[in-house]
Amino acid sequence: MENINRYYQKYYHYLRSAMHNSEYSKLFKLADSYAHSLIRNYFPSGKNYSILEIACGFGALVHSLKQRGYTDVLGIDISDEQIELARKFGVENIIQQEAIHFLETNNRKWDIIIALEFIEHLSKEEVMYFLSLCRQRINKGCRLILRTLNCISPFFGMYAFGDFTHQTFFTPSSLKQVVYRAGFTKVEAFPFRHDLRSVKGCLQEILSQMVVWIFKIVLACHSGGFRNLPIITPTFEVMATH
């Protein structure tokens, strides 16, 4: 039986086999936009923090954080193809490591651990173990930031089953449950938010909110009110404090 890790070695090739360098450039710009939102929404003030990004791909977010003055940033990814791309584009502080193995064997503690659209690639048992390891590797009072697919979203199927390697799916409520179970003391869930510094970002956010509120009105009609309506953006984010 073929090991799924062998698939991950060429993961990016399967997803983006037709991409050109200009499209990679767009991904770097997108990562820079997300870095701005990440810092604004979840980072503490100051830049003297150690940051680990799990499943960093070819390091676009790592690169953007370093460009913004965060010097102690490390990205890990299982794919040798991704690491090769990172080197091609001059991204530093990227190493090839499987996430759970890295957290098991590297005793360093971090101020911020970021895992974006990663945990859906794990089994339920692996999710629980991964989150427990994250808690062990985060300094007291510091943060884990997750982003994953949202089961409640009306667009869930398109995202969830567009990738063969997806295994485990969450609602904001279920992910908060398992993160608390891992030993984090404060866990909050948030809808995905666009970068509002550009006209494009503002239009994306306005259109997104229009669609979201249409579905929320439908949900409210079925539930009998607008109280405690769930997050229904296609992805959502969780910030957990140790």
pLDDT of res. 210:
79
Give me 230's structure tokens.
């769930």
Q: Can you say how many angstroms the Cα of residue 94 is from the centroid of all Cα atoms in its chain?
A: 17
Task: State pTM to two decimals.
Answer: 0.84
Report residue 77's pLDDT band, with 50, 70 and 90 as the boundaries: very high
pLDDT of res. 2:
53
Give me 236's structure tokens.
């959502």
3-state DSSP assignment of residue 241: strand
Instruction: For domain 4-193+233-241, give the CATH number.
Output: 3.40.50.150
DSSP-assigned letters across all residues of 103-122: HHH----EEEEEEES-GGGS
3-state DSSP assignment of residue 188: strand
pLDDT of res. 89:
86
pLDDT, one tens digit per residue, over 17-75 is 544 555 667 777 777 888 888 888 999 989 999 999 999 988 989 999 999 999 999 99
pLDDT, one tens digit per residue, over 171-223 is 999 999 999 999 999 999 999 876 667 777 778 777 777 777 777 777 777 66
Question: CA 24 to CA 211: how far, in whole Å?
Answer: 29
Contact predicate 79/9, CB 8 Å: yes
Contact predicate 65/92, CB 8 Å: no
User: The sheet that has 94-96: what strands, in order across it?
Assistant: 94-96, 73-77, 51-54, 110-116, 138-149, 235-241, 186-191
Give me 122's structure tokens.
């794990």
> What are the distances in angstroms from CA 49 to CA 65, 161, 224?
11, 36, 45
CA angle 62, 108, 36 (to 5 degrees): 25
| Residue for token pair 């993961």 | 11
Domain range list for the chain: 4-193+233-241
State which H helix or E strand residue 139 sits in: strand 138-149
Question: CA 115 to CA 145: how far, in whole Å?
Answer: 6
Beta bridge partners of 96: 77
Q: Which amino acid is at 185?
A: T
* Sign of the four-CA dihedral 163, 36, 74, 53: negative
